[in-house]
Amino acid sequence: MNILVVGLSHKTAPVDIRERVAFAPTAMEAPLKQVVGLPAVAEAVIVSTCNRVEIYACSRDPEAACSQLRHFLAEYHNIPADELNPHLYEHCGGEAIHHVFRVASSLDSMVIGEPQILGQIKTAYGYASEFKTVGLILNRFLHKAFSVAKRVRTETEIASNAVSVSFAAVELARKIFGTLTDKTVMLIGAGEMCELAARHFVNNGISQVLVTNRTFERAEKLAAEFGGRAVLFNDYVEHLHQADIVLTSTGAPGFILDRQQLEGVIKRRKNRPMFLIDIAVPRDIDPRANDIDNIYLYDVDDLQEVVQANLKERHKEAKKAEAIVLTEVDQFHQWLGNLDVVPTIVALRKKFEDIRQEELQKTLSRFSSLGDKERKSIEAMTAAIINKALHQPISLLKQCKDDSGSCDGYVDAVRALFGLVPPEPDAGDTPADDGLNELPIKE
């Protein structure tokens, strides 16, 4: 059985294509059941996010399955195949396992280390479980992907450094103040960037939020979202001394805070540290404020430098993560190979043993005068014939299993030649007693 992936992502398709191929998260039953209804597809999960749409599937005929999945995506979304196909990729076997482990570990994300993708894959798996489009293989596979992602986050620092301007501000504030639990933040301007940064501060324990804006109603609305207090724009300077952290993002053509005003503010604060974050362009705060003791001023370029430095650190950690993923890929690929090989060998030996026993009983029943010694000799001879006849095919399958190679061709050929229906494998690892030993020859 092969695991395969067919899909597209931010690396292969522009947003207008990704939008057209996206699946509605509240209506996954129909597409999932259509996918597992395809002739070559046995199990399936559909992952659909703003940056990627991927179908994870398993099949005994991966080439046919990939072709059918490409056709499904085009037909389901009413997109001509010749328009969609250039944006699609497909992975099979070890490549597919490697790809999904990297995606779950956020090594393939637009921002390496972002945590959202793991939750999105878990949600996709939840839908597939609910609508019964996953079985033994994808159940095991995706749980393994989740554990790999957890291991990457535990053993590396891939997600420890802020890589957005808004969160970089929080990280810097922590370095300045140590803790944010007793601190007050003031927003000057109520735009999207200010709101996002404020949300990060609130999520990290800030105690109070003050909001001012030229439109007071907008200030009131945003303050209410954060359980804070709105301040009239004409009066905000009078309240600045209360703020440990100030975020500014207005559309003013020049400085709204100059050095002299901030000298007065820091004096009223009795020289307690103050962190100013100016994310406006043009800037809101006179850069000479940085010369004032206990004032720490960062503009958007300063924050971008922090972000770029943190991205470099994440890329260093990503190398460690890639090594973890490769190790886990090898282990899962071996389990997947064993999943087919062991039951096939067991089924092959059982079939020949059933034939041997049936023919042996027919023969012995016609010679009732035979003694125990003669009967044991005939039984030993038939067991030896079976062992020798099966030695080469079983040795080849065992070697393939032990080398972690691809046994699909051999497994499918043996099953077809001998009409085998192997027993369902256990969902856990292959047990040590795998039934691969030769038939005992009684002396």
- Report the catalytic residues: 50
Q: How far apart are CA 27 and CA 40, in angstroms?
A: 23
State the residue for tokens 């793991």: 118
In degrees, rounded to 5, the angle at the alpha carbon of residue 429 between the alpha carbons of residues 46 and 340 is: 70
State the residue for tokens 């470099």: 312
Three-class DSSP labels, the chain:
CEEEEEEEECCCCCHHHHHHHCCCCCCCHHHHHHHHCCCCCCEEEEEECCCEEEEEEEECCHHHHHHHHHHHHHHHCCCCHHHHHHHCEEEECHHHHHHHHHHHCCCCCCCCCCCHHHHHHHHHHHHHHHCCCCCHHHHHHHHHHHHHHHHHHHHCCCCCCCCCHHHHHHHHHHHHHCCCCCCEEEEECCCHHHHHHHHHHHHCCCCEEEEEECCHHHHHHHHHHCCCEEEEHHHHHHHHHHCCEEEECCCCCCCCECHHHHHHHHHHCCCCCEEEEECCCCCCECHHHHHCCCEEEEEHHHHHHHHHHHHHHHHHHHHHHHHHHHHHHHHHHHHHHHHHHHHHHHHHHHHHHHHHHHHHHHHHHCCCCCCHHHHHHHHHHHHHHHHHHHHHHHHHHHHHHHCCCCCHHHHHHHHHHHCCCCCCCCCCCCCCCCCCCCCCCCC
